[in-house]
């Protein structure tokens, strides 16, 4: 007897709670950005511990809930919080979350995160649209046997961050009235913040922002055919670029400052989708 995979089990559990609901966009809310979930209408809230195979986040600012509802009339599966490798999460846990979105019916994977800026022209409280990434986490969520149900063994990453979706985001930002610089996101394992020497090295590599998440999710999303968009809330200048000490509380504070701008951008983006 073939065992049903965790993504199918989790999707079945969600569908049993909200039958007939098919989300178009899977939205991941990063550190300090979870309040965006409160804007969903007709929302059904499902704690992660009620979804088979889902990890439980241990980090402040990550509520650990799946919300199924509508934003700007678009059906959304909203992940309020994520799990990180530094919490002890295994690759299967990372895969289960993203693949569950795919099984539920999502076609777009939209991730937000809190990150440090490696550019002096993109200061805390601003947003950065990600157009590429560098994986410095020392692992890959696709390690091990391939699951052919979700995708092929070898995944092209040259257009991992969908150009058409980025265009829509730029249009939305322009209509709102703020700039949306693009950049390369570099993901580290954490949980310690980077050293000044590491930041200098990362800048040499071409990174514009640094954080401890997202890249693994993007890899899984592309493997299973989801279109990807990622926006970072800049919460600090990276280590060695200012006299300010970097703390998680500071990250949450500046992510909160960016919430209004992130909300306007996501709403504008969703209004422009042809769903």
Question: Domains in the chain, ordered, with CATH?
Answer: 6-272 (3.40.50.1580)
Catalytic residue among 8, 24, 170, 248: 248
Q: Rounded mean pLDDT of 27-44?
A: 87
85 vs 50 pLDDT, higher one = 50
User: Is 90 exceeded by the pLDDT of residue 188?
Assistant: yes
Beta carbons within 10 angstroms of residue 236's beta carbon = 23
Of residues 57, 113, 115, 213, which has the active-site annotation?
213
114 annotated active-site: yes
Residue 12 predicted with pLDDT over 80? yes
Cα–Cα dist 268/170, whole Å: 10
Query: pLDDT band at residue 88, thresholds of 50, 70 and 90?
Result: confident
pLDDT of residue 1: 37
> Is 186's pLDDT higher than 70?
yes
Q: Are 112 and 231 in contact (CB under 8 A)?
A: yes
Kindly tell me if the per-residue pLDDT of 275 is higher than 70.
Answer: no
Residue 266 has pLDDT above 90, yes or no: yes
- Of these residues, 11, 207, 212, 241, which one is catalytic? 212
pLDDT > 70 in the chain, percent: 95
Is 170 designated active site?
no
* Residues paired with 78 in a beta bridge: 27, 67
Catalytic residue (choose from 13, 43, 86, 170):
86
When pLDDT is averaged across residues 254-260 and rounded to a whole number, the result is 78
Alpha carbons within 13 angstroms on the beta-carbon side of residue 72 total 16
If you average pLDDT over residues 142-163, what whole number do you get?
95
Q: Measuring CA to CA, which residue among 223, 214, 163, 165 is closest to residue 186? A: 214
Q: Which of 71, 98, 69 is nearest to 82 (CA)?
A: 98
| pLDDT at residue 99, rounded to an integer | 96
Residue 260 banded pLDDT, cuts 50, 70, 90? confident
> Which position among 24, 43, 70, 87 bears the catalytic label?
87
Q: Is 164 a catalytic residue?
A: no
Distance CA 179, CA 167 (A): 13
Q: Which of 84, 96, 194, 258 is catalytic?
A: 84
The model's pTM: 0.93
236 tagged catalytic: yes
DSSP 198: H
Mean pLDDT of the chain: 91
Q: Is 131 a catalytic residue?
A: no
**128: Cβ–Cβ under 8 A, 6 or more apart, which residues?**
115, 117, 122, 180, 181, 182, 183, 185, 208, 209, 231, 232, 234
Asked if 207 and 130 count as a contact pair (C-beta separation under 8 A), the reply is no
Q: Is 262 a catalytic residue?
A: no
CB atoms within 10 A of CB 145: 7
Active site residue 85: no
Q: Report H helices in 105-162.
A: none
Task: Choose among 232, 228, 211: nearest CA to 112.
Answer: 232
Q: How far apart are CA 122 and CA 116, in angstroms?
A: 10
pLDDT for 257 equals: 78
What does the pLDDT read at residue 157?
A: 96
Q: Which of 236, 238, 239, 241 is catalytic?
A: 236
Share of the chain above pLDDT 90, in %: 72
Clarify whether 212 is annotated catalytic. Answer: yes
Confidence category of residue 60, pLDDT binned at 50, 70, 90: low
Q: Which of 48, 57, 62, 96 is catalytic?
A: 62
Average pLDDT over residues 131-135: 99
Tokens of residue 211, six digits: 């954080």
């Amino acid at each position: 007897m073939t065992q049903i995979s965790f993504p199918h089990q989790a999707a079945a559990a969600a569908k049993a709670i909200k039958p007939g609901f098919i989300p178009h966009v899977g939205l991941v809310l990063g550190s300090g950005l979870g309040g965006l979930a409160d804007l969903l209408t007709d929302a059904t809230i499902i704690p992660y511990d009620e979804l088979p195979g889902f990890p439980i986040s241990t980090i402040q600012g990550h509520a650990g809930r799946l919300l199924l509802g509508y934003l700007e009339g678009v059906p959304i599966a909203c992940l309020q919080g994520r799990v990180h490798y530094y919490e002890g999460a295994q690759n299967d846990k990372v895969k289960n979350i993203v693949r569950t979105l795919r099984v539920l019916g999502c076609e777009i994977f939209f991730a937000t995160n809190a990150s440090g800026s490696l550019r002096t022209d993109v200061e805390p409280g601003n947003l950065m649209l990600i157009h590429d990434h560098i994986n410095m986490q020392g692992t890959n969520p696709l390690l091990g046997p391939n699951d052919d149900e979700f995708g092929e063994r070898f995944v092209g990453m040259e257009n991992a961050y969908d150009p058409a979706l980025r265009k829509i985001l730029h249009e939305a930002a322009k209509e709102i009235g703020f700039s949306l610089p693009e950049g390369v996101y570099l993901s580290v394992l954490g949980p310690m913040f980077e050293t000044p020497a590491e930041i200098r090295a990362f800048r040499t590599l071409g990174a514009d922002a640094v954080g401890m998440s997202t890249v693994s999710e993007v890899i899984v999303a592309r493997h299973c055919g989801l279109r990807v968009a990622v926006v970072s809330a800049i919460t600090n200048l990276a280590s060695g670029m200012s006299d300010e000490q970097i703390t998680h509380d500071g990250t949450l504070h500046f992510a909160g400052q960016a919430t209004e701008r992130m909300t306007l951008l996501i709403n504008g983006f969703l209004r422009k989708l042809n769903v």
